Structure 1
């Protein structure tokens, strides 16, 4: 049994992670702002993780074996947590994102299309951190989501007071109504009702992961001993046409496409730039992934039970 603290953990795969940590026999503490209580038997600390004084006071004399941070989006938040948990934990795991590799959001080494992107393309040990940017502004943060994650990883990597690992997760699907992006249900609705899907002329593939598999991987990451970033994605990239074909097989309706001009935004999961991740490092460390095409039909079936989206 380990003492594990989860920051966030109130919805989707974070909520499932808390349940699986508890089922595995760990002593679990959840920190959030109190909107959603954790399961019975899980300690609940209600505090704003952005308020360093309140966070430190709420933690009191508690110490943990591992902290899993589900809701860190900026270097400022990372710095607050790095100070608050210094001397309180031996390991810190942050949930990060595939978006850190998006070449449209930062200058980085180019990876040829068709070559899966490895972790070293974004090295948090050398990434520039700028604390004075308007990270507190919600509009700025939304527009700079990927950079906020990159810089948060960089702050934790350099903190030096605990082992640090980041899990860079692919596009997360599954869970029906639980799926907080609603993108799969959106696509299912478009295809089922014959509404056009806007796509790029040469749509490039991306990678996905089922929300249950991501919860399992995070559970594994809490008790593993690796440090640094690890990519989390199921085997088998898909482009928007491959995704739509699997949905079409469930709906019995063929997708209707409209190609957008170069440079114009298309539907989610149609990409005109390459940053599909490589999951070799996680495999080398001992984690085995499912294939996207094995679980996606079931996730589509769940999504089809949700009210279809009216727009493309």
Structure 2
């Protein structure tokens, strides 16, 4: 029986991932700081991943076939994990993000307008790592989230103690009241209340993934030995803020009210003034079958509307 360690697998995507792995027959160990217990039957190690000595002590003599890291945000955290799991695992999968492709946060190669970007757009093997930045400062980390992920990928890529894959997730939707980012709730609340939604004058499309599909892909990536390096994770189909608003408006029998922002003014989440899409061709070529956003968005919106109507449920 294979042993899989999930770092941070206690809520949302991580919890679904743990449940899927467990149901498939894997022996699962979850590492977190102890605030939330994993599902029954899962080994639970309480450790702070930022405390290298404490993490190594908690691991003891355990070894794993795969580690799936849900909560790595900085190169410092990646370096600690690389050292702690060297000799303990043959494979390491990190959950990364579409935001590594955000041109506002880094100088990236130009692509033709409207082109879904491939993984090679950001090559972690060549990305500069700067450990001396204030990664311990929450405000700095929040402002440099995308760069933290890029540099974390770079640290793992250059570590030769195990095979490594970075799953670059699209914007995640789903889960109803469990959707902790609150971004879909922002739209359901404003549309049902008749409040304005701030958008760019020309809002361009992006890509999304359902939280259960992301968990499925992470489980797949954990066991696919040929899936190494960056792998984009997004459902088929593009969607802009107006398309999302239209689905919510139709299901709530309301009208979406928009206010266009001036250049440089912040807009609502999922409103982009640039084409912001990834290509999922690599994962498909490796054998993963994605859904289309139209397959799950209506049900996801219905869940979000129900959570909006009953916020304490």
Q: TM-score, normalised by structure 1?
A: 0.97
Give the distance between the partners of 1:162 and 1:99, measured in 2 at CA: 25
Unmatched tracts of structure 2, length 5 or more: none
1:245 maps to 2:234 = no
Tell me how far 1:308 sits from its aligned partner.
6.6
Tell me how far 1:27 sits from its aligned partner.
0.5
Between the two proteins, the alignment pairs up a number of residues equal to 309
Question: What is aligned with 1:224?
Answer: 224
Give the distance between the partners of 2:110 and 2:202, measured in 1 at CA: 18
Give the distance between the partners of 2:82 and 2:159, measured in 1 at CA: 6
Give the distance between the partners of 1:95 and 1:69, measured in 2 at CA: 6
Where 2:189 maps in the other structure, the secondary structure is: helix
Give the distance between the partners of 2:18 and 2:250, measured in 1 at CA: 34
Q: Is the 8 A contact 1:7 1:70 kept in 2?
A: yes
Q: Is the 8 A contact 2:6 2:67 kept in 1?
A: yes
Give the distance between the partners of 1:201 and 1:83, measured in 2 at CA: 48
Question: What is aligned with 2:210?
Answer: 210
Tell me how far 1:110 sits from its aligned partner.
1.7
Question: What is aligned with 2:270?
Answer: 269
Give the distance between the partners of 2:110 and 2:270, measured in 1 at CA: 20
Tell me how far 1:305 sits from its aligned partner.
1.4
Question: What is aligned with 1:29?
Answer: 29
C-alpha offsets along residues 8-57 of structure 1, whole Å, 9 cap, x if unaligned? Answer: 01110101100000000000000000011111111100010110011111
Q: Is the 8 A contact 2:238 2:277 kept in 1?
A: yes
Give the distance between the partners of 2:304 and 2:186, measured in 1 at CA: 8
Where 1:203 maps in the other structure, the secondary structure is: coil
Question: What is aligned with 1:192?
Answer: 192
- Tell which deviates more after alignment, 253-262 or 157-166: 253-262
1:305 maps to 2:306 = yes
Tell me how far 1:293 sits from its aligned partner.
1.4
Which runs of 4 or more aligned residues in structure 1 lie more than 4 Å from their structure 2 counterparts after TM superposition? none
Unmatched tracts of structure 1, length 5 or more: none
CA RMSD of aligned residues (A): 1.1
Question: What is aligned with 2:126?
Answer: 126
Question: What is aligned with 1:288?
Answer: 289
Tell me how far 1:274 sits from its aligned partner.
2.9
- Tell which deviates more after alignment, 180-189 or 170-179: 180-189
Where 2:308 maps in the other structure, the secondary structure is: coil
Give the distance between the partners of 1:200 and 1:40, measured in 2 at CA: 46
Question: What is aligned with 1:174?
Answer: 174
Give the distance between the partners of 1:205 and 1:5, measured in 2 at CA: 35
Q: Is the 8 A contact 2:190 2:196 kept in 1?
A: yes
Give the distance between the partners of 1:102 and 1:239, measured in 2 at CA: 16
Q: TM-score, normalised by structure 2?
A: 0.97
Question: What is aligned with 2:78?
Answer: 78
Tell me how far 1:185 sits from its aligned partner.
1.6
Q: Is the 8 A contact 1:186 1:308 kept in 2?
A: no
